[in-house]
Amino acid sequence: MMGIELIQGDITQLKVDAIVNAANNAMCGGGGVDGAIHRAAGPELLALCRTLGGCQTGQAKITPGFNLPAKYIIHTVGPVWYGGGNHEAAMLTSCYQQSLQLAHEHRLRHIAFPAISCGSYRYPIAQAAHIAIQTTQAWLQQNDRDLQVLLINFEDKTHQQFVAVFKELYG
C-alpha cells in the first residue's frame, strides 16, 4: 500500500500539504485534535472558521494552515457513535472521501488524517480504522495514485489498533 503510511505522533507538527482536522459542526475549536490544531494554527484560524457557516457531518472544508507547518487544514466532521444504526459508517466514509477529494482538487500531494470520531465521539477504533484504511485505499486506486496519505495517531493504543487492522487487511 504505497499511498498509505501509519505513524504515531502529533499531527500539528507535520510538514505536509494538508492535515485533516476532526472538527465539530461549528468549526470553532474544541477538545482533542480539533483544539490542538486551533491552538497551533493561531487565532486567525478561528476568525476565518467563524465566517464559513460551519460544516455538516460527513462533509469537509479547507482553510489555510496559518501558523502550522502544514499549508492547509481540511476540516471534516465525523459522526458521533450511537451504536452503528444511525448511518455512522456512511458518514465516516464520507469524511475520508470528501477530504481526499478536496486534497485532489487543490493538487495536494501529501495529507495526514487523525483517527476521525475516535475520541470524544466514541467511534470504536477498530471499526473506524477499517473505514479509514479501506476508504482511503479505494479512493487512491480510483482517483489519485500519487497522493501520499498518513494516518497519524497521537495515542499508542489507537495507533496499535490501526496497525493491527492494516496488517489484517493487507498482511
Which structural domains are found in the chain, ordered by start?
4-170 (3.40.220.10)
Element at 6 (helix H, strand E): strand 4-8
Q: pLDDT tens digits, residue range 127-165?
A: 999 999 999 999 999 997 889 999 999 999 999 999 999
- Of the candidates 28, 23, 31, 27, the residue with the CA atom closest to the CA atom of residue 79: 23
3 state DSSP class of 51? coil
Q: pLDDT tens digits, residue range 21-49?
A: 999 999 988 889 999 999 999 999 999 99
Check whether 12 has a pLDDT greater than 80.
yes
Contact residues for 147 (Cβ-Cβ < 8 A; gap 6+): 3, 100, 103, 104, 108, 109, 110, 111, 140
Instruction: Give the pLDDT mean for 86-93.
Output: 98
- Range list of H helices, the chain: 32-41, 43-49, 88-105, 125-143, 156-170
| Average per-residue pLDDT for the chain | 96
pLDDT band at 1 (very low <50, low <70, confident <90, very high): very low
With contact defined as beta carbons under 8 Å apart, do 116 and 88 qualify?
no
pLDDT band at 5 (very low <50, low <70, confident <90, very high): very high
Instruction: Give the pLDDT mean for 54-61.
Output: 97
With pLDDT > 70 as the criterion, what percentage of the chain qualifies? 99
Contact residues for 110 (Cβ-Cβ < 8 A; gap 6+): 16, 17, 18, 147, 148, 150
